[in-house]
Chains A and B, each alone.
Chain A
Amino acid sequence: MAATRHPNRLGLKGWAVGGRWGPERYLYTLHRLSGLGLLAYFLIHIVVTSSRAFGPEAWNQAMGAVGGPVFKVGEFLVLCAFAFHAWNGLRLVLVELGVLTGKAEEPVYPYRSSLNVQRPFLIAMMLLAAATILLGGWELFVLSH
């Protein structure tokens, strides 16, 4: 069984609680949740928008079926998931490639590279995500189409 091979595996519970975590660990959980939400939306989105291949009536009928305030709130949630997943994903890619991780140093507390380089980078990405949500939300709810 997997549980015996990986005794430290927390399963789904590990997404929410696992000890004293920094913000990066909560972003990991959010990245997964937003990813699952985006995937669910995307699979439906492919089918709905494929109606354009059948001409204007089919397209307008499909767009009519996904209109109204409930779908608008749903679209805003998709926008939030997109903004977060995109900016946090950019952070994950850059950190994976060793960009903006700071110089290698002895792991002596307080960890300067993680606090002085990675943490401000994380905050910058989250501010960009917030700005994206505000800008998109403005167009979605205020300018409205």
Chain B
Amino acid sequence: MKISERSLWTWQIATGVVILVLLGLHMGIMHLNDTLGLAVWNPAGNDPLDWQNVTARARQVFFTVTYVLLLATALFHGLNGLRNILFELGPTPRARSLIVAALTVVGAGLLILGTWAAVAARAAAAM
């Protein structure tokens, strides 16, 4: 499947906007939890990495859905950006195909792992 450079660039911008919102929320919850007073998402105290807080988020459908959405958009945005940088170095057509194939495998693999983890964490939250 050949996707045009133009539509890839449009996706790069569109995913950037989605990431801006979702990663802004993610960074706010994980790193500005105290400053912004986001106790509602960290009910078990102000350490967002505490297992109780991790499971409190994992149980909510909102987090499962937005984690997967952020995972997919950020993987595309990051790997397509890397592809743009590598292509600018002037690889041969054969090297280009290999780059795209390798990045697709990495992206698909991590998308599957991350999606599985977000869903499986719902069960682990009950442990």
Contacts and interface: CB of A to CB of B under 8 A. Distances in A.
A36 B85 CA distance: 9
B46 interface: yes
B8 interface: no
Contacts of A96: 13
Interface string A10-21: 011000000000
Nearest to B49: A63
Contact of B51 (A49, A59, A92, A93): A59
A2 B90 CA distance: 5
Interface in B25-53: 27, 31-35, 46-49, 51
Contacts of B124: 52-55
B60 to A, nearest CB: 14
A33 to B, nearest CB: 10
Contacts of B123: 53
Contacts of B117: 49-50, 52-53
Q: Which 9 A-B pairs have the closest CB atoms?
A: A2-B90, A50-B117, A53-B120, A39-B78, A53-B117, A145-B47, A56-B51, A46-B114, A52-B121
A65 interface: no
Interface string A29-40: 000100110110
**Size range of the chain B interface in the assembly:** 35 or more
A49 to B, nearest CB: 7
B111 to A, nearest CB: 9
Contacts of A50: 113-114, 116-117
16 contacts: A1-B90, A2-B91, A3-B90, A9-B90, A39-B79, A42-B74, A42-B78, A43-B78, A46-B71, A50-B114, A52-B54, A52-B58, A53-B116, A53-B120, A59-B51, A136-B27
A87 B89 CA distance: 27
A76 B85 CA distance: 25
Interface in B80-127: 81-82, 85, 88-91, 106, 110, 113-114, 116-117, 120-121, 123-124, 127
Contacts of B20: 86, 89-90
Contacts of A136: 27, 31-32
A138 interface: yes
Given A46-B113, A46-B114, A143-B35, 13 more contacts: A11-B90, A12-B89, A35-B82, A39-B79, A43-B110, A46-B110, A49-B117, A52-B117, A52-B121, A82-B27, A93-B13, A135-B35, A136-B27
